[in-house]
């Protein structure tokens, strides 16, 4: 198990497209460049969408893992 210093936790469980990336874009603006935000989703589409969002915005998904229907992302603010 990897350990990151998580600056912020974002709970998007139950939310459907496009709300997880809408919330992520708003919340990541509140942390500093280099810090990591931890995010929980249950929308299977977010498995593809969060990395696409990161690619397009120039941020990085450090890791994602799935535990009993919940997807757990670590996203690093790079810009």
Measured CA to CA, the distance from residue 18 to residue 49 in angstroms comes to: 9
Give yes or no: 12 in active site: no
Is the CB of residue 4 less than 8 Å from the CB of residue 62?
yes
Is there binding between residue 40 and other proteins (CB under 8 A)? no
Residue closer to other proteins (CB basis): 7 or 15: 15
- Member of 38, 51, 57, 62 binding other proteins (CB under 8 A): 57
The catalytically annotated residue of 6, 16, 17, 70 is: 17
The distance of Cα 25 from the centroid of its chain, to the nearest Å, equals 9
Residue of 46, 76, 39, 41 whose CA lies nearest to 60: 76
Is there binding between residue 17 and other proteins (CB under 8 A)? yes
Give the residue numbers marked as catalytic: 17
Residues within the interface to other proteins (CB under 8 A): 14-19, 21-22, 24-26, 53, 56-57
């Amino acid at each position: 198990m990897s350990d990151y210093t998580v600056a912020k936790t974002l709970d998007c469980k139950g939310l459907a497209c496009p709300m997880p990336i809408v919330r992520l874009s708003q919340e990541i603006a509140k942390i500093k460049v280099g810090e990591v935000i931890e995010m929980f989703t249950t929308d299977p589409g977010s498995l593809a969408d969060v990395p696409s969002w990161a690619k397009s915005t120039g941020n990085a998904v450090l890791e994602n893992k799935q535990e009993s229907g919940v997807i757990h992302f670590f996203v690093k603010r790079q810009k």
